[in-house]
Structure 1
Amino acid sequence: MTDAKSAFTLTRRDDGIAVLTMDVPGESMNTLKGEFADDIAQILDEVESDSSIKGLVLISGKDNSFVAGADVSMLDKCQSADEAEALAAGGQAIFQRMENMKITTVAAINGPALGGGLELALACHYRVCTDSDKTAMGLPEVQLGLLPGSGGTQRLPKLIGIQKAMTLMLTGKQVRPKQAKKYGLVDDVVPKSILMDVAVKLANQRKPNRSGPKLNLTGKLLERTPVGRNIMFSQARKQTNKKTRGNYPAPDRIIDCIEAGVSGKKGYQTEAHHFGQLVMTPESKQLRNIFFATTEMKKEKGVEGVDAGELKKAGVLGGGLMGGGIAFVTATKAGLPVRIKDIRSEGIANAKNYAYDLLMKKVKRRFMRKTEMQKQMSLITGTTDYSGFHDADMVIEAVFEDLDLKQNMVADVEKHCHKDTIFATNTSSIPINQIAAKAERPENVVGLHYFSPVEKMPLAEVIPHKGTSDKTISTTVDMARKQGKTPIVVKDGAGFYVNRILAPYMNEAANILLGGEPVKQIDDALLNFGFPVGPIKLLDEVGIDIGAKISPILQAELGDRFQAPDAFEKLLNDDRKGKKNKKGFYDYNGKKPGKEVDESVYSLLGVSPSQKLSHDQISERCVLLMLNEAALCLAEDVIRSPRDGDIGAIFGIGFPPFLGGPFHYMDSLGIKQVVARLEHYAGLYGDKFSPAPILKEMAEKGKTFY
């Protein structure tokens, strides 16, 4: 037996099979740490020197996970690329030693086996996993601006084929048990109750003689001939660059490592070298910052020292796209029964169909069993009145933006639900204090603002008004988290945080368009900057009518810098609402719906398009206004910290993650430089570019946000 305080315990069974259990003390999930290298080496020495051991099973002592990856914080301690490269080479050496062992080794996987955890399993001769919903395998390093550095880029392609392996590594996608078996990633999928029995049985067998993955004819031509591989890698690079636009170095390096491995050119050395280089890039640094920030936020309560109330049932008012999405995440992620109310039974049917279609996709992809899908669907029920709402602990309102309607709903909920029922409003622009103005129990009223589509967008803004109770805030934050969201608590006020920083950015893009720049030029400039969608395209996606509604609310409360260009009026008079009515800036009726610009929009706006500005000039003008507004939000306590502001912008509107969010980005540019550029544009385009007082003060004192 090894030291009781160690993360590793070696147990010998009577049948000659040894079991190595990993259980990192004091942590909910296992992660691989640099200091474990000596422990593992010692255990391998012990196993190899004991001739009575015929096989080795690796299993987790945690009930919910195998190994969730390597400890990311150890990378921050690396002072140089050489140091990080040595870390990768050390991991490679240990896993290589495991692979070379004379006895048979088996990874018994239950729960997540991700990153270094999957690389550990790949170094074993067999892998068996449970059929649990929590079991998932993947190499998500690319999401931290890194690559799998302990042999993952070399072993995975040999096991499941180059194309499948490349897709998993370039996307960071996780695979579920059935899919893993189909790919050849695991040898068997079994119920948790017999995981150890099956693993022991495999450990008693000879090492497998694997001849590589089964491929169809096209696969063989692409993966097993030099010409095919050249075509495959060159296409992969082309597609990758189309997606990353050169902003993320990791995907290209991943392709390099795989290519080096299959062509026999020092694959492992290439992997360790590139890993070391990537650890030191600013992109990876910022992506790791996001990882640490979100991990930290998971531990926080809405109000420190105030526990969340227990939620057993939820209600949703409105069966539209937002209501359907909210009901879906409440039932499937939070696991709560949810009752939808809509004035029309078609609305309820639409919301239920929305959930059904999303779940059926998972069933078809073998992510979920049909019985599980049926169980989740049974949690969603509907009604055209308030029957079944009496025991709802939280009711989330998702109807259109109308103050009277929302106030009436508060009154209805107070009448039909119990006295502690929380009324959460998904308004995107109306201040919460106005919605709560006529409430009998204003302490139960709170804003809970989701982003569309709800099932995909990771952010939720929790907006208390002055009278919201601390208990309500903590319970709402807890609910958002259970729904799979990252919640930030923001101060009540027009636009809250995300829409407030988005509006000046969008308005400036419209001003640039009215100045004669082509739509495509503007959208491409911001795509190259790193946003997932250009601002003009975003207007079409969100709805031009919605954009037109929000601007006057912001202008009334926050001043003329929010004045929208006259373009909205002209567009709406021509019934252009965007994608939803197939009439906007882009053409939705041609051969490529939504891909080409509708040229008739230029004459409608009285513009002759011609390219005068560079991509950098366009992106700088739009982004500076967003940065300035974010700084004002911090100064006015709209957000609690720069960290919340960064996470809100990244998760709410897709601010480029590799730049770390508006506040990290301002720090990296230098606050003096931000102020200088704002003043430059204020000279050209007026007061809307006036630097926020907080920025001027910080520039004078040489301060930073972090």
Structure 2
Amino acid sequence: MPKVLSYTINDGVAVVTVDTPNSKVNTLSIDNADEFKEVLNILKNNDDVKATVLISGKPDCFFAGADINMLESCKTAEEIQHLSRICKGTFNEIAESKKPIVAAIMGQCLGAGLETALACHYRIAVRDKKTVLAVPEVMIGLLPGAGGTQRLLRLLSLPDAFDMMLTGKNIRPDKAKTIGLVHMLIDPKGASDSKESKEATRKHLEQVAIETAKGLVDGSIQALPRRKGWVETITEYIMWFNLGRYFFMTQARNRVMNMTQGHYPAPLRILDVVEETLKSGYERGNQLETRYFGELGVTKESKALIGLFHGQTHCKKNHYGSPSPIKKVGILGTNSIGAGIAEITIFKGYPLSLYDKSKENLEQGLIYIKNNLKQRVLRKQISDNEKDKLVSKLETGTELESISNVDFVIEASTENFDKKCKLLLEIESIVKPSCVIAVQTLFNPIEKVAKSAKRLDKIIGMHYFSPLAKSQLLEIVSSKSATKETIATAVDLGLKQGKIVIVVGDGPCFYTTRILCILVDELVSILREGIKPKQLEDMTKKIGWPMGLCSVVDEFGIDNIYEASKVLCSHYDENLLSKNLIILEQLVKKGMLGKKIGLGLFEYDPTRKLSIDNPAAIKIIDDNKISPKESLTTQNIQWRLVSRIINEAVLCLEEGTLKSPLDGDIGAVFGLGFPPFLGGPFRYLDIHGAEQLVKRMENFRKVYGDAFKPCKLLIEHSKDSKKLFRS
């Protein structure tokens, strides 16, 4: 293995630089844990070394955490526990060093990387956008397994330690200083994100860390503990008593169960470790941390979540070659999607032309964009000055010629097929020949929309999800005519907008909208059988959907689902969806379009946050009521919904709409909220087997008909347990 550590000694301070060769990030593995020990021993026995600075050679990454592949290679809990003990041994040597060790943090400091920094005696972080600190292990079904639970409990208040461990969320430098995670912050050198500025900041950080290390040696600087407030002091006192611990931990467990419905073992194990630490001390808590780290590492939930992690990593890269340069972007349409796309594009620094033929709509779009940017200022993502600079890059126009000089244009003004076709031809006649033309659509087949266009190779589909600022997924639709360069350019823009990008084939409703329509078809059947929307909402949350499925329908738009279902009906000879279309049609005719107007399956208050069952929607459903053929238990409903969406996902792969099972998993989880602990339709089948699902579907088929007919590819996998969708 190539060395990842190097060191220099100057004026009594050793500067140890972590720099994994041929990688954008540093990760912790068994090999470099041993290398750490070796270097620490050398410095420990060198009388010329009085202190050590630990810094990364990569400006954007201190440590990205443990090597996930190393964890996946372990076959048993005992193997994973062995890894935990090795890392703990190394970190304990850092913590017990008689010579002070300073962690100089710039860029990502995650998981085992933060655990490395926590073992150091002093932590300095750069106050910039790229520097974040977190223990995200819970997001892959684990807990911090190298002493992190114990060191966080010692260092932070109990609520702050819980917040970090149970959510895995990123902590920005200012907050890290406030809660006591780091001792000192430094500002970056230069305002730009250039390579030169980053290197200047890294060198400045190194120098500050060296001076700090010297101060720790001579006593002029001390790593003082965080000052505790009176509330924290009283809380700690209460924790000494069994009754106080019981009350606090019961409240914490109730909150975790309410959030996870018990589908995720890791948060509950984190609570077990914390409770044992509070009751019996750090030594016992440390032992339990190692034990549970190993046990969690072999659970099906962790395997599913690690599969999603790999999928996210894959979908955050451009696999389609070199993109065309984009100097300016054009957006047509100022509805919530158009204005939303404009805002995330401007936020990433692209000059932009925003077009709408209506001056009033254009003004409303501008208000939306500026308000969203103001929210980013309040969240400290950008400064007021940066916000003003971004707004200055925005041009508007009510004439189509305003987009004539852009390199990439996104039409997001309408879902009406005829209007889309006409507008696309107008755009093509105005923009330069090299411009990529993207059609924002939920269901219209791209080749049909572009059938009269002259430059089919430059036309592509882009499906953004609502709410746009929060949704992580972008589904790019590639027609047969689109070149690799066109696809690469669209992917490049999506990635720079901060999206997880999947690329799917053209066809009716593509992938995510298609499996949603199938899901909604079954959902409507269940509603017609007598389950009320709020009841079904609670049921689907309990079976693991982060957002209840009735809320998903209202968020997506009942009118959009209706139009998409009509398109999809033409794809099936039996018109399997047509029996429930009448419900969607009547809801649309009555103006119940979903959350965007405050009325769908639910009625929403003016803030759009609180909802109740919509009596008018329930009346339409009850007027078309059907008798349930089986008992409507939570389990029955769970498997009816899950089996149909998984089968349709596999059918999309069989027909070529999906390019890979990995894209299918990412699209289902991040586009529709498929329960993450199942890992996505294909990861679920690989972990749990296709045979049991096919048996369920065949039983449902006898009761409910051919809507539950398993597709050919699913049947093939059910007959051979060694066949995997994702290796």
Determine the C-alpha separation between the residues in 2 that align with 1:597 and 1:344.
36
Supply the distance in 2 between the matched residues of 1:340 and 1:591 (Cα, whole angstroms).
28
* Among candidates 274, 279, 289, match of residue 271 of structure 1: 289
Is the deviation greater in 181-190 or in 494-503? 181-190
1:81 aligns with one of 77, 83, 94: 77
- Go from structure 1 to structure 2 and tell me whether the alpha carbon gap of 1:197 and 1:485 turns closer, same or farther (over 3 Å shift): same
Superposed, 1:404-483 pairs within 5 Å as 404-483=418-497
| 8 Å contact kept, 2:515–2:645 | yes
What residue number does 1:705 align with?
725
2:207 pairs with 1:197: yes
Deviation at 1:60, TM superposition (A): 0.6
Q: 2:115 aligns with which of 109, 113, 119?
A: 119
CA RMSD of aligned residues (A): 2.4
Corresponding residue of 2:326: 311
Corresponding position of 1:653: 672
The code of the aligned residue for 1:452 comes to S
The 10-residue stretch of structure 1 (516-525 or 397-406) with the greater mean CA deviation from structure 2: 516-525
> Structure 1 residues 376 and 156 mapped into 2: Cα distance closer, same or farther (>3 Å)?
farther
Range that drifts further, 486-495 or 290-299: 290-299
Q: How far did 1:159 drift?
A: 2.0
Equivalents in 2 of 1:701, 1:87: separation in Å?
Answer: 34
- The change in CA–CA distance for 1:356 and 1:173 in structure 2 (over 3 A counts) is farther
Of 659, 669, 678 in structure 1, the residue corresponding to residue 697 of structure 2 is 678
Mapped contact 1:32–1:67 kept (Cα < 8 A)? yes
- Which amino acid is 1:466 matched to? K
The reply on whether 1:220 has 2:248 as its aligned counterpart is no
Runs of at least 5 residues in structure 1 that lack an aligned partner in the other structure? none
Q: TM-score, normalised by structure 2?
A: 0.91
Is the contact between residue 517 and residue 612 of structure 1 (CA under 8 Å) also seen in structure 2?
no
- Maintained 8 Å contact 2:263/2:677: yes
Q: 1:253-292 maps to which residues of 2 (within 5 A)?
A: 253-265=269-281, 266-292=284-310
Conserved 8 A contact 1:221-1:228? no
Structure 1 window deviating more from structure 2 (683-692 vs 460-469): it is 460-469
Q: Which position in structure 1 is the counterpart of 2:713? A: 694
Counterpart residue identity of residue 271, structure 1: E
Aligned-partner residue type, residue 708 of structure 2 = F
Is the CA contact 1:510–1:536 (under 8 Å) kept in the aligned structure 2? no
For residues 191 and 212 of structure 1, the distance between their equivalents in structure 2, rounded to whole angstroms, comes to 23
Taking the aligned partners of 1:52 and 1:581, their CA distance within structure 2 comes to: 71
> What is residue 616 of structure 1 aligned with on the other side?
635
Q: Distance in 2 between matches of 1:271 and 1:698?
A: 38
Task: Give the conservation status (yes or no) of the 8 Å contact 2:357–2:399.
Answer: yes
Task: Flag the 1:109–1:372 CA change in 2: closer, same or farther, 3 A.
Answer: farther
Flag the 1:443–1:590 CA change in 2: closer, same or farther, 3 A.
closer
| 1:151-550 alignment, distance < 5 Å | 151-192=147-188, 193=201, 194-206=204-216, 212-226=225-239, 228-265=244-281, 266-302=284-320, 306-333=321-348, 335-550=349-564
Structure 2: state its 5+ residue gaps.
Answer: 189-200
Percent identity over paired residues: 37
What letter corresponds to residue 207 of structure 2 in structure 1?
D
How far apart in 2 are the matches of 1:658 and 1:181? 33
Secondary structure of the equivalent of 2:61?
A: coil
Q: Which amino acid aligns with 2:434?
A: D
Q: CA deviation at 1:50?
A: 1.6
When structure 1 is superposed on structure 2, of 660-669 and 395-404 the one drifting more is: 660-669
> How many equivalent residue pairs?
698
Q: Deviations over 1:675-698 (max 9, x none)?
A: 222221111111221121222333
Separation in 1, partners of 2:97, 2:716: 63
Counterpart for residue 665 of structure 1: 684
Structure 1 residues 95, 349: closer, same or farther in 2, change over 3 A?
farther
Q: Sort the Cα spacing of 1:377 and 1:270 in 2 relative to 1 into closer, same or farther, 3 A.
A: farther
1:538/1:515 CA distance change after superposition, 3 Å: same
Normalization by structure 1: what TM-score?
A: 0.94
State the Cα distance separating 1:342 from its structure 2 match.
1.5
Displacement of 1:387: 4.7
Which is worse superposed, 85-94 or 538-547?
Answer: 538-547
Counterparts of 1:153 and 1:376, CA distance in 2: 41
Using the TM superposition, give the Cα deviation of residue 600 of structure 1 relative to its aligned residue in structure 2, in angstroms: 5.2
CA distance in 1, matches of 2:254, 2:603: 27
Q: 1:569 aligned to 585, 593, 611, which one?
A: 585
State the shift of 1:21 in Å. Answer: 0.7
Q: CA deviation at 1:362?
A: 3.6
Q: Answer yes or no: is 1:644 the counterpart of 2:663.
A: yes
Cα deviations by residue, 1:518-564 (Å, 9 ceiling, x for unpaired): 32332223222211222222222222222222211111233412225
**How far has the Cα of 1:210 moved from its partner?**
6.1
Distance in 2 of aligned mates of 1:590 and 1:19: 57
Contact kept? 2:317, 2:495, Cα under 8 Å? no
Offset of residue 364 of structure 1: 2.6
Contact 1:543 1:578 in 2 (8 A): yes
| Equivalent residue runs for 1:598-637 within 5 Å | 598-599=614-615, 601-606=617-622, 612-637=631-656
Closer/same/farther in 2, CA of residues 564 and 159 from structure 1, 3 Å limit: farther
C-alpha separation in 2, matches of 1:342 and 1:568: 30
Cα distance in 1, alignment partners of residues 135 and 159 from structure 2: 14
Distance verdict in 2 for CA 1:585–1:78, change over 3 Å:
same
Letter of the structure 2 residue corresponding to residue 225 of structure 1? I
Q: Residues of 2 paired with 1:359 and 1:216: CA distance?
A: 34
* Offset from partner CA, 1:476-510 (integer Å, 9 cap, x none): 12222222222222111111001111111111111
Q: Give the drift of 1:291.
A: 1.5
Amino acid at match of 1:296: H
Q: Distance in 2 between matches of 1:38 and 1:535?
A: 49
Q: Which moved more, 1:666-675 or 1:273-282?
A: 666-675
How many Å apart are 1:211 and its aligned residue?
Answer: 6.6
Structure 1 counterpart of 2:105, which letter?
Answer: I
Aligned partners of 1:299 and 1:602: how far apart in 2?
45
Q: Which whole-Å deviations, capped at 9, do the CAs of 1:78-99 have from their partners, x for residues lacking one?
A: 1211111121122122112211
How far apart are the structure 2 equivalents of 1:343 and 1:223? 62
Q: 1:326 to 1:590 in 2, by over 3 A?
A: closer
Distance 1:288 1:623 in 2: 21
CA distance in structure 2 between the aligned counterparts of 1:593 and 1:683, rounded to whole angstroms: 41
Secondary structure class of the residue paired with 1:107:
strand
Amino acid at match of 1:323: G
Query: For the Cα contact (< 8 Å) 1:249–1:278, is it kept in 2?
Result: yes
* Aligned CA distance change for structure 1 residues 158 and 616 (closer, same or farther; 3 Å): same
Distance 1:667 1:283 in 2: 13
* Equivalence map 1:43-82=2 (5 Å): 43-82=39-78
CA offset digits 1:142-190 (Å, max 9, x no partner):
1111111112111123223111121122111112222222222222211
Contact 1:645 1:663 in 2 (8 A): yes
Cα deviation, residue 209, structure 1: 6.3
Structure 2 CA distance for aligned equivalents of residues 422 and 175 of structure 1 = 38
2:197 is aligned to: none
Question: How far off is 1:590 after superposition?
Answer: 9.9
The partner residue of 1:552 within 566, 578, 585 is: 566
Displacement, 1:416? 2.3
